[in-house]
Structure 1
Amino acid sequence: MDLIDDSPAPSGNQPEYTVSELSGAVKRVIEGEFGLVRVRGEVGRVSRPASGHLYFDLKDDRSVIAAISWKGQVARMQVRPEEGMEVVATGRMTTFPGQSKYQLIVEDVAPAGAGALMAMLEKRRAALQAEGLFDAARKKPIPYLPQVIGVVTSPSGAVIRDILHRLRDRFPRHVLVWPVAVQGQDCAAQVAAAIRGFNALPEGGAIPRPDVLIVARGGGSLEDLWGFNEEVVVRAAAGSAIPLISAVGHETDTTLIDFAADLRAPTPTAAAELAVPVRLDLLAALEALGARLTRGIGQGVVLRRQRLRDLARALPRVETLLATPRQRLDAGALRLGAGLGLAVAKKHREFDRLAGRLQPQALRAGLARQRDQLTGKSERLTRAILRRVERLGDVLRPISGRLAPALARMLGDAGRKVAEGQRDLGRLADRLDAAPAARFVRLRDRLEALDRTRVTLGYHETLKRGYAVVRGDGAVVTSKAAAEKAVALEIEFGDGKLAVGGRAGRRAKGEGESGQGSLF
């Protein structure tokens, strides 16, 4: 029976590729032809997983290209792509063999034009305004004369020098500078962190908390100022508990932080002017107000003095006011002598009338009546006291009858308790007398047991079992080498010590034929 081969015969001389070989060949072709390309398109789906890489699509009206930016490339981007944004992406084409697809590795992204950036900016502004972050009711008043001013800007630019110079000219204040990047990828995160950091300073802490904040940057293009349009910066400015002045760019530049700030300044120098008044103007105004106050006080005194004089002229003279009272006083003085004589005569007659009624018989009769009344009251009081005593006696007799037995019982209980206490005291005294002797016996037994343990564990007992202790030159010898070096040896047995010759004795006797010295 013949075997039939059903496998198809090779067709022509075409080479055979494995899947990996073909994928690698396609990858090399695409990367060789499109090593560096710039692609213009609209950003589609945007995804950024926890790894930090950025995945998005570039599309036009007919095609879509998958794009990816690695984490390090994303950190270097000036502008990050957002969905709906028209951009020009720079990168290189490659393939992804795992899904048999090609993709663009994007190294940089730039807006396709100012129109795209403005459209994205307007869209973000509308969304934040819908949340109420730009409402005028949320804005806080700027303090008239702050003690501490916090400035969020670059420490090396001309902006901070302009602000400090203007503050020094107008009204010197304590200034805290929080250095940040005012351009680039790190700008938004650092500015937001600076605003939150100033707000986190405690009142009365080691670092003084600012009374007003200034976020400042010099002029630049829309791309240069883009960090101040980021949502994280706008939310930090809107949530600041410290009043905030935005001074980003020149007068014609507008960023989203300007809408969220409590006050917008056209330039950083103008922000310093809005933060503090002019000290010389305040001094001049104070002097003017002081002069006005002095003039006002003087004019007031003059007017009141004139008014007092006018009122004084309208009043009658003192002599006129006192004439009638003085006349009444003179008339009263004239009538006083006659009145006193009449009063004395009247009191004299009243005294004579009362003196006539005070006769000795009348006094004795009054005393007798008072004595009778006092005697009656004394008798009634005596009878009341006796009745009161009798009632109390009736109440106390039953109580006294019960008191004697109770007192006897109490005395009996007290006697029994005293007897029991004496017996307990006797037993305790006996125990106290016996306690030292018993403790002495226990301590003696324990000492004897410890001594027996010491003797048992001592090396003398070990020597009695057939062991010996070798000492060389007074020290215990535990090795042959130490014994050979010793000048004198001593061996201790269980029944005594034995002295033997050391190194000197062995040299005198000589060593054995085998080359080993004898110990004895």
Structure 2
Amino acid sequence: MTPSAVSAPMSNVTEYSVSEISGALKRTVEETFGHVRLRGEVSGYRGPHSSGHAYFSLKDDRARIDAVIWRTAFAKLAFKPEEGLEVVATGRLTTYPGSSKYQIVIEQIEPAGAGALMALLNERRRKLEAEGLFAAERKQPLPFMPRVIGVVTSPTGAVIRDIHHRIADRFPVYLLVWPVRVQGETSGEEVARAIAGFNALPADGAIARPDLIIVARGGGSLEDLWGFNDEVVVRAAATSIIPLISAVGHETDWTLIDHAADMRAPTPTGAAEMAVPVRADLVAALAALAARHAGAVSRRLEQDRRAVAATARALPSPDMLLALPRRRLDEAATSLGQCLRVNLSEKRRAYGEVATRLAPSSLEAIVREKRADLRHHQTHAAHAVTGLVQRKRQRFERIAADLQPHRITARAEAARLRLANFAERLNTAQAQVAAGRRQTLAAAWRVADSLNPLRVLERGYTIVRRPDGEPIVRAAGLTPGMNFELQFAHGERRQAIATRDGDSDAATGHFDVQEAPINAVEADASRPRPKRRPAAKPAETDQGTLF
């Protein structure tokens, strides 16, 4: 006996192979749960497989179970499952030995209402949509040819390789990858920080700022893509100043970031195709445009050349252009000599006339004539000065005679008499004007006194006033229960209350009045009275004398 055989412990426990224990478990589960009804939310449903079978999961808030519908049973279903719906499934439980999993084979399925996740997703979508984060006017156009593209995705997945290969095939540009988790509890925060980080890069910094952002992830179930439904991700995408393409999941997958992004791509590869154009197509288009441009320039030059040739044929020759100016020059040269001779003769004649007037004999005659005129003016000025002196002397003698004492006394007496006469006339006129003004004032005062409302009160009338003193001129101004005042002649006032008569109507203005006596003197004293203008004083007739 070997030592190993001696040391090995002996046991009577039955040994099973993996297949045996898997088969035993399968039989136990199928016998115990041969017919069950499960209520849960459909998750991971992608439609029937190419084989006709449908594979998905049923879950609640704490557990999850795989489900399968075979092709024969799927064809007989009246209701087809949909992602996120809460259903009630009827079937049997079984195990799958190949992966040590258990699942339910569904034979019948019926809806039980929307799932919790889909209800939460719809509520969040409606909330963000009400805030305007999904509005079309907020979306930005994508740049035609970005130089740097920022990609927010997992650096280890196939998504980044698909995007890189597709962009390299179409139009190679710089790719700036911001690594994030695309699944899990922290994926939403990481994606939001990545979008904000790309927007925070300076335009001229050491790290180039991307012209376009692609948020990408492969397909998955609703739970796998739930991080892209976070509110922080949606708000980061909506507030991004850099245009953003959402490429989350496959074409049938929808997340809230798809609504907030400027463009949604069905797949990450489709996002790469939206991001950059095809370089070969651009080169071909540029070549075509260059060829068209060269052809257009050649045709334009040929047209201009033909136009210049046609214009040259229509223009006259240089000899024809210079014929008329040359003829005018010859005619001017011919007439120039004759004109010079005529001008010279006219100048000579004018010079002769001037020379004749400047001869010595003519100048002596002019001097004698001017000297005679000067003597005449001298004689006339002497006579005029002598006459003026005589007239001034005579006037001075008259004034001296008038200044004699007896004549001054006579003139003063005459002036005193005229002044006394003027003073008497002034007093008379002033008295007449004052009397007329006094009569006019008395007539105006009589008119004003006739218009005084207190005179009307003396004839038996009264004035109805509000408590604030405003007069009431219409019956509609009185309402039942209203307090008012009645003013009589000589300032007497009484408080009264308006009450409706049984047969009266407010429109006709008939009311009963209940008097509330008050001290008329106190009521009248509490109200400010208008100041009376003082009576006009009679004008004084005696204005005195001016001296």
Range class of TM-score, shorter chain: 0.3 to 0.5
TM-score by length of 1: 0.47
